[in-house]
Structure 1
Amino acid sequence: MSARLRWLLVGLVLLVIAVPLAILFLRTHERVTEVERLPPQGEASYNPLYVLGQALRADGLTVQSRPRLDLTRMPLAPGDTVVLLQDSAEVPAPAVTALMAWVARGGHLIVRTPPIGKDDARNGPLLDALGVDSEGQESDCQPFHVRDDPQHVEFCNGRRFAVAPPTGITLERGWGDEESRVFARLRHGHGRIDVLADMAFMHGKGRPNPAVPPNAANAIIDGLHDKAHRDLTRYVLAPNHGKGTMWLVYASRPPSLWNRVFYLGWPVWAPLLLALLGWLWQRAQRLGSELPSPPAERRSLLEHIRASGEHLLRFGKAPLLYDAVRRAFLARLRRRSPTAAALAGEARVHAIATLLQWSHARVQTALTPPAAHDVAGLRDRIRLLIQMRNLL
């Protein structure tokens, strides 16, 4: 069979198998398009006012976003608007003075009260300068009339406040009870200051709508996805809308480098960690519980001396032990009292007894060798010689 005929047969077999499989696949499968909503990426993941900034830019306004209030890097001009999502209690007194002077020249400042549960015992320099008291206030929903949603409420999670403006500041508009407000617009010079119980309606991140399918146009509600919230945002931003720069202080920080490495870089560091652990396991000499140390050799000098003495005593060499102790006593006697050591016999015994203030008989007994098998006498004489040696 030639090579051409062989390849022709292979092609026919593949054709006979592939055509029925293709027909079966096309009849049993249907193409479906699904929309997957990905989580926010980049700045949108940590900036709650990101969607608001994009919407204002689409309207042709100049928008600047800042993580924290920094007046040295924010050249505020009359006609500008500052949306201060940052906790107003964290604004220092020098910054409060500069903000009040800027508002008097025509600025528009939007602030909120401190969040519930963060620190119920403080207002901060900014709210104190405005005569706003939020201490001890709780959150309570405020009805907000919407034509197609008669049960609509706002500021359910914000801290209410009372307003008593100081001299030079007037209350232009308010919303809520006189002692428990959720919104107040204050007039200061040529500008205005809006105090809100909460700014959640300006956030770009919403929540799923359980009443509609996940892929519907209104699948996400709350935040700026809600029409009533967009209307409320337009009303709050109205005083200087289109006049100057919109400064959005979103009071957040981008994720740290270690956060990104841990959560986004795990496909790289996890295999490297496993490889490192495997290498360490391969290089380890022994795994398991620690083995006990081998017993050390006993080389104590006292044990050798005791063993030598017991050996001599067992084999009847007791006089050698006595002679060793007696020589040690006489050696010290020559060093401490050469005169007594130079004597002999009874004269030496008398000199030693006088030196130690012992009885003559006791010294005589200590210096007399015991019998060969008198173990008790040996021990008694060795004890006396040691005592005499220690007293020299």
Structure 2
Amino acid sequence: MNQRRQLLLGSALALGLGLLALYLLSRVQPYEETVEHGPAPEAQANPYLAAEHFLRQQGLQVQRADDLQLLSTLPSAGQTLLLLGDRQGMRPRQAERLLAWAAKGGHLVFVAERLWDEDEGKSGDLLLDSLDLQQYQSDDLDEPEAALEAPTPEAGDTTAKAYPELTQLYLENEQAPAYFSFDTGFHLYDAANRAHAWANSAAATHLVQLYHGDGLVSVLSDSWIWQNDRIAEYDNAWLLWYLSQDSAVTLLYHADRDNLLSLLWHYFPQALLALALLLGLGLWRAGRRQGPLQAPASPSRRQLQEHLRGSADFLLRRSGQHCLLQGLQADIQRRARRRHPGFERLGVTEQWQVLARLTRLPSRAISQAMRPLPEQRLSAVDFTRQVAHLQTLRNAL
């Protein structure tokens, strides 16, 4: 009976669980969820990775370089050099080599990095100053020069009027211009009037192209339009292809390779600070002091003999030799008075005779010890000898 009851209970429990599972399955609805992990490490390390892939998709040969050492082996004809990295460390010799490379038939594309300084008559950007190009902030312009120089849009083209912040590039035999999202805060000015092509927004010029020798130079107000997060906007990618078409492309991220110290400071600043602090503490620890090191005092050093010696040294410095010698002579006279009543009333000769009889020392030793002290300071040897005579006489009493 018990087994039958257990079987029935087990069957009922299994049936209940089955019905509950069927009910839950009928209520469950599948769905898809996309988890964004952000850019890949390669994209985070290379802001122009998408530009590289885009150019390769167009069938162009693309290589990446880290410094200007490649100019010695890079041919000029049929090459486009995109100089997208920071050029603060560029030297005049390197700027001359770049422009000489472009003059032999290469196409140099770079970004203007510094603003024109009216007081100094230069910007400090070696490439810009060599090409007589100047960069200003758009807010500092007296009038929208770019708008005056730009071609007139076609009647049916309303994009230029509706989006004045976009940069337009007009090409021959085209109904409408190409549009780019340059930063409108900067303006390029061709002081020598050498440019043969340019691209403008409503108030500024952002792309200038000019011939240089047998080659071509294109100057941009910024290269942010080709970074990973903006290359797909408007015609930004098309401009990259247009400037590098029918050529091999070299992307240069640094005009000069960073030295070891700058790399260490960039990647390990805390370690360098700790090393500098440790080095400073080491120098302070090993530095020479003004005097020798004094050993710590022993706990058992406080003895009566040291106190007496210290007191004697103090009296010697403060009162001089005569005070110490006279103190010994006075002590000898006190002991003699105790052993010979009336000693103080005797003359000097009689006192010396009494001392000789009491101590059984020769009179010569008595006279050397008790004679009057000279006024001049005794030498160290004479002072020591006189103290020895007095101590011998006192100990004999």
| TM-score bracket for the superposition, by shorter chain length | 0.5 to 0.7
Is the CA contact (8 Å cut-off) linking 2:102 and 2:213 kept in structure 1? yes
Q: Which has the higher contact order (CA 8 A, sep 6+)?
A: 2
What corresponds to 1:227 in structure 2? Answer: 234
What corresponds to 2:94 in structure 1? Answer: 95
Distance (Å, rounded) in 2 between the aligned partners of 1:60 and 1:172: 28
Matches of residues 284-299 of structure 1 in structure 2 within 5 Å?
none
Query: Given the superposition, is the C-alpha separation of residues 194 and 2 from structure 1 closer, same or farther in structure 2, using an over 3 Å criterion?
Result: farther
Distance (Å, rounded) in 2 between the aligned partners of 1:8 and 1:258: 77
SS where residue 16 of structure 1 aligns?
Answer: helix
Matches of residues 156-195 of structure 1 in structure 2 within 5 Å?
156=183, 159-165=186-192, 170-176=194-200, 181-195=205-219
Is the CA contact (8 Å cut-off) linking 1:48 and 1:250 kept in structure 2? no
Is the CA contact (8 Å cut-off) linking 1:49 and 1:250 kept in structure 2? no
SS where residue 224 of structure 1 aligns?
Answer: coil
Per-residue CA distance 1:343-374 (angstroms, 9 max, x = gap): 4459576553325469xxxxxxxxxxxxxxxx
Query: Given the superposition, is the C-alpha separation of residues 115 and 34 from structure 1 closer, same or farther in structure 2, using an over 3 Å criterion?
Result: farther
Instruction: Give the TM-score taking structure 2 as reference length.
Output: 0.52
Per-residue CA distance 1:302-338 (angstroms, 9 max, x = gap): 29999xxxxxxxxxxxxxxx9xx86xx9xxxxxxxxx
Matches of residues 1-392 of structure 1 in structure 2 within 5 Å?
13-14=13-14, 16-27=16-27, 29-72=28-71, 75-114=74-113, 122-134=123-135, 137-139=136-138, 150-151=162-163, 152-153=165-166, 154-156=181-183, 159-165=186-192, 170-176=194-200, 181-205=205-229, 223-235=230-242, 237=243, 240-242=244-246, 244-251=247-254, 300-302=302-304, 343-345=356-358, 347=363, 351-356=368-373
Q: CA deviation at 1:97?
A: 2.8
Residue type matched to 2:127 in 1? L
Is the CA contact (8 Å cut-off) linking 1:116 and 1:157 kept in structure 2? no
Gaps of 5+ in 1: 206-222, 262-295, 307-321, 330-339, 359-384
Query: Given the superposition, is the C-alpha separation of residues 39 and 66 from structure 1 closer, same or farther in structure 2, using an over 3 Å criterion?
Result: farther
Query: Given the superposition, is the C-alpha separation of residues 349 and 99 from structure 1 closer, same or farther in structure 2, using an over 3 Å criterion?
Result: closer
Distance (Å, rounded) in 1 between the aligned partners of 2:266 and 2:8: 60
Query: Given the superposition, is the C-alpha separation of residues 39 and 11 from structure 1 closer, same or farther in structure 2, using an over 3 Å criterion?
Result: farther
Q: CA deviation at 1:20?
A: 0.6
Is the CA contact (8 Å cut-off) linking 1:132 and 1:162 kept in structure 2? yes
Per-residue CA distance 1:264-302 (angstroms, 9 max, x = gap): xxxxxxxxxxxxxxxxxxxxxxxxxxxxxxxx9666212
SS where residue 137 of structure 2 aligns?
Answer: coil
Per-residue CA distance 1:2-25 (angstroms, 9 max, x = gap): 99x989976873453244135225
Sequence identity of aligned pairs in percent? 22
Distance (Å, rounded) in 2 between the aligned partners of 1:80 and 1:25: 64
SS where residue 48 of structure 1 aligns?
Answer: coil
Query: Given the superposition, is the C-alpha separation of residues 299 and 99 from structure 1 closer, same or farther in structure 2, using an over 3 Å criterion?
Result: closer
Q: CA deviation at 1:148?
A: 5.2
Instruction: Give the TM-score taking structure 1 as reference length.
Output: 0.53
Gaps of 5+ in 2: 167-180, 258-262, 269-297, 309-327, 336-351, 376-386
Is the CA contact (8 Å cut-off) linking 2:225 and 2:231 kept in structure 1? yes
Query: Given the superposition, is the C-alpha separation of residues 36 and 196 from structure 1 closer, same or farther in structure 2, using an over 3 Å criterion?
Result: same
SS where residue 81 of structure 1 aligns?
Answer: strand
Q: Cα RMSD (Å) of the superposition?
A: 5.1
SS where residue 75 of structure 1 aligns?
Answer: coil
Residue type matched to 2:215 in 1? G
Distance (Å, rounded) in 1 between the aligned partners of 2:43 and 2:78: 27
What corresponds to 1:374 in structure 2? Answer: none
